[in-house]
Amino acid sequence: MTFMTSEVDRCTEAAFALVAPGKGILAADESHPTIAKRFKSIGVEATEEKRCAYREMLFTTEGIEEQISGVILFDETLRQSTATGEPFPSLLVSRGILPGIKVDKGAKPLAGSPGEVVTEGLDGLAQRLEEYSSLGARFTKWRAVIRIGDGLPTDYCINANAHALARYAALSIQAGLVPIVEPEVLIDGEHTIKKCSQVTERTLRRVFSELYHQGVSLQQILLKPNMVTSGTMCPERASEEEVASETIRCFLRAVPAAVPGVVFLSGGQSEEEATRHLNLMNRNRDVPWQLSFSFGRALQASTLSAWAGAEENRADAQAVFAERARVNGLARYGRYDWQNPGADAED
């Protein structure tokens, strides 16, 4: 596949900026049903105004540009503005933060394979990408979902999702937007860490094979994977050190060195777990990629509770959010000292 040089350069530049040292991505691209679920947990009805107020609170938090390189937005949010009328994309850009956009249309049942899903959204994607670019987006995200279970995942499911991820990535680069390729092996289930490692490796190998076959240049993408962990209902719990070392071992086997960065999702881990795992991984610097974050829940869970839908809680919620950003920034250097959270541990 041939891309215009300027588009490739634009992607490379943004991909490296997104994984700049000490920085990572805020995933604030919850779809309407997902944000409704999050708001329900704090007793708030998910109206358009509330979604806008919540995201404005996040995006205007002082100092986050020191640790947040980019924010993934949902279609609605890319078109919304602050209370004073500044569009969110230009607000973010003015703070040195790159705006991104979730472009998939969600995971739908995979025909003929009960319990499995495939992500949709390729139809009309080229036109949507053009519009998103004109609205200020610099990068995109597409999430594929792989479930571990009895006889799952099937090769059929992995292949269908990998194929769609690669088609999306090629279209995104063509539009000058860095694709964040997200194959998420779900944490839900009774599986051991070993099983998670096998399925994650199998999935990543397939995804990189499709990216290769569809001519996607790996310097222009970021990978957003799950960490390698025990399933939530597995009685044998892997330690934090095992999660960090198994994740790195798995990725060294399956992720080409040309990829600028691996930006982990948190996928149902607690805020602390996700940060500590990232921190431990970054103590091992002997890897070819930046190891960073693109957290949704692990950056927002305590902030959402502190906000609780009330304007008067805004400053408190912002303080909580700034602290989560700060500790994840430290984890990018392997310097988060969780036993002494105020200290910036040196190597």
CA distance 154 to 157: 5
d(CA 293, CA 105): 23
For residue 118, the number of C-alpha atoms closer than 13 Å in the C-beta half-sphere is 20
User: How far is C-alpha 298 from the geometric centre of its chain's CA atoms?
Assistant: 11
73 binds ligand 13P (CB under 6 A): no
User: Nearest residue to ligand 13P, using CB?
Assistant: 296
Catalytic member of 30, 56, 116, 182: 182
- Indicate which single residue of 14, 78, 204, 298 sits in contact with ligand 13P (rule: CB under 6 A): 298
Number of residues that bind ligand 13P (CB under 6 A): 10
CB atoms under 10 Å from CB of 241, counted, come to: 12
Active-site option among 116, 224, 246, 271: 224
Instruction: Give whichever of 32 and 285 is closer to ligand 13P, judged by the CB atom.
Output: 32
Torsion over CA: 278, 282, 287, 293 (sign): positive
37 is catalytic: no
Q: Is 143 in the site for ligand 13P (CB under 6 A)?
A: yes
Q: In 10 A of CB 134, how many CB atoms?
A: 8
Least distance between ligand 13P and beta carbon 4 (Å): 29
Question: Residue 265 interacts with ligand 13P (CB under 6 A)?
Answer: yes
Binding map of ligand 13P across residues 25-44, x = CB under 6 A, - = no contact: --x-----------------
Selected range binding ligand 13P among 167-175, 236-244, 251-259, 289-297, rule: CB under 6 A: 289-297
User: Judged by CB under 6 A, which stretch of 253-261, 262-270, 279-287, 311-319 contacts ligand 13P?
Assistant: 262-270
224 is catalytic: yes
Of 9-17, 278-286, 296-304, 336-344, which segment contacts ligand 13P by CB under 6 A?
Answer: 296-304
DSSP state letters, 207-265: HHHHHHHTT--GGG-EE--------TT-SSPPPHHHHHHHHHHHHHHHS-TT--EEEE-
| Cβ 332 vs Cβ 278: under 8 Å | yes
**CB-CB contact of 304 with 38 (8 Å):** yes
d(CA 86, CA 68): 20
- Shortest Å, Cβ 228 to ligand 13P: 15
Task: Pick one of 220, 230, 266, 290: the residue that binds ligand 13P (CB under 6 A).
Answer: 266
Task: State which of residues 296, 317, 318, 332 lies at the interface with ligand 13P (CB under 6 A).
Answer: 296
Tokens of 319: 């303080």
Using CB under 6 A as the criterion, which residues of the chain lie in contact with ligand 13P when the complex forms? Answer: 27, 143, 182, 265-267, 295-298
Q: Name the residues annotated as catalytic.
A: 182, 224
